[in-house]
Structure 1
């Protein structure tokens, strides 16, 4: 983020709606890093099953570190980046605000301000022309939709233009804690990848433990989180059920198969019908781990003003079937 983007232009400030959709361009270095952090974890996921069969390359230390890091960083995205920073589903005390932002950053899906700006833009133009990652971008034929799903899943990450954070995330641009985390994204990236490896090496007292922890709790964990998150962008805008009304072109859907690995994010139809709601899975049997964590935080007094679903409001958004 440039100083101009943070500080704004001199003189009177333009209205947010008048600001351009994009601001600045990704450098060639950023694109190269993107290629690495998209392909390396993906290759690790592809290699995970055969590697697991090799004796000594998957131990209990690796399993525990993988689970802990998947929960910490995955919930950092769903509770921290998404429901809190993007949509304001609750308010949080400063230590919790910082912790949730750090946890989301360590998922290595991008720095917080850029992530939030992209997602708010997505909601404003869901499945319309200016949506940064709609799978319907190229049309509705089978070839166009196949191309669109690949675009929505990961192709859009490589576009040069950045969503304008002064338009879509001015509250985060003005927050010094968030700006600090944004500026130090690379440090949190390294902590996310090598922190588990250091722990694995210390616990096993071996370089072997360092390498296996780096593989499982670092690369494989990042790869799985990436593709679960990106599946909400792609799969959950094409397949699934739509029991709630959204805007005319918005095709956000519920996909139950992704509910547990996405911590409840795949109850995507209700989320687009009521974006600030802290719970996405509102119907019986819809597991929403992120909402349960927010509930625990609320009970502990760490968050407040949680926007829980109200029955009348939810029923008013349901599609009426004849």
Structure 2
């Protein structure tokens, strides 16, 4: 008879080894540093081709669809399961989120779930509040949480943090093609820019503005939520961490800047919570629900919100 170990080794929550760290450095250079270089190149290329309607349209459209892929797909659907969606909608959101260059969907979800588990405490991958006190500590914390933490960090064990996602074969197939989706997100504005202008300068300009500048802008918008909004803003609801709302940034963040609201009610697909608080991510979810492509929206009740509201 096989003996059963009465004290099995607990599953490791994080993984840290040289191979993982090499992958992190490569991703940091390709998708965090390279967009900075690409943005500088875009401004230098203005000497060859001025910024015009085509460049603005590609920048705005690619920012919007990939940003919605992150906030509605990566964040509200896959991380927090705030609603359910038709399989093809879920796959499309995962692909659009992947084009943002912020990591594969399974890894992103695992990191964000760990952030919520340890938010602003030891174990949080990107808290700005764990680097000491005073002005120096605040600056060091902001630099870490906004950008530098991605160079090297403990990798959340996806078996622990995302078991539901790794059981979804379609989603895993999307995640495995992450680098191809990022490349597609660069190719689309390049091709459109070239075809619309019928010139090589239009293609290069499309790549720079609809590709690299778009990635750069979206990344820093998302990172600012993890950095600045864990130090500054309003706190209408009780929450155990230092999250804040930044309502003035609601549109540019597609609703993500209602960060205190989100941490207080992480199971809510609405981050604004009230109709008058701008939340484009929730507008998309409501549109999907109206067409039968999304359902089971878990919006908190008025009584639940009132119970958590800071007096």
TM-score (norm 1): 0.89
Residue in structure 1 matched with residue 36 of structure 2 by the alignment: 42
Deviation at 1:300, TM superposition (A): 0.8
1:175 to 155, 158, 168: 168
Matches of 2:289 and 2:274 in 1, distance apart?
A: 21
Matched residue count: 305
Residue in structure 2 matched with residue 272 of structure 1 by the alignment: 263
Matches of 2:180 and 2:305 in 1, distance apart?
A: 42
Residue in structure 1 matched with residue 112 of structure 2 by the alignment: 119
1:299 to 269, 282, 290: 290
Residue in structure 2 matched with residue 262 of structure 1 by the alignment: 253
Runs of 5+ unmatched residues, structure 2: none
Residue in structure 2 matched with residue 81 of structure 1 by the alignment: 74
Are 1:135 and 2:128 counterparts?
Answer: yes
Deviation at 1:303, TM superposition (A): 0.4
Preserved contact between residue 41 and residue 208 of structure 2 (Cα < 8 Å) = no
Preserved contact between residue 74 and residue 107 of structure 1 (Cα < 8 Å) = yes
SS at match of 1:196: helix
Deviation at 1:254, TM superposition (A): 0.4
Preserved contact between residue 45 and residue 224 of structure 1 (Cα < 8 Å) = no
TM-score (norm 2): 0.92
Deviation at 1:312, TM superposition (A): 1.1
Runs of 5+ unmatched residues, structure 1: 1-10
1:177-256 to structure 2, matched below 5 A, reads: 177-247=170-240, 250-256=241-247
1:77-116 to structure 2, matched below 5 A, reads: 77-116=70-109
Residue in structure 2 matched with residue 6 of structure 1 by the alignment: none
Matches of 1:50 and 1:283 in 2, distance apart?
A: 43
Deviation at 1:109, TM superposition (A): 0.3
Are 1:287 and 2:287 counterparts?
Answer: no
Matches of 1:57 and 1:78 in 2, distance apart?
A: 32
Matches of 2:160 and 2:138 in 1, distance apart?
A: 30
Deviation at 1:261, TM superposition (A): 1.1
Q: Which moved more, 1:195-204 or 1:266-275?
A: 195-204
- Once the two structures are superposed, residues 51-108 of structure 1 have per-residue CA deviations (whole angstroms, 9 ceiling, x without a partner) of 55x4633222222111111111000000000000000110011001101111111111
- Once the two structures are superposed, residues 153-172 of structure 1 have per-residue CA deviations (whole angstroms, 9 ceiling, x without a partner) of 11111114311111111111
Residue in structure 1 matched with residue 13 of structure 2 by the alignment: 21
Preserved contact between residue 278 and residue 309 of structure 1 (Cα < 8 Å) = no
Matches of 2:207 and 2:90 in 1, distance apart?
A: 27
CA RMSD between the two structures: 2.1
Matches of 1:46 and 1:255 in 2, distance apart?
A: 28
SS at match of 2:124: coil
Gap change, CA 1:18 and 1:275, over 3 Å in 2: farther
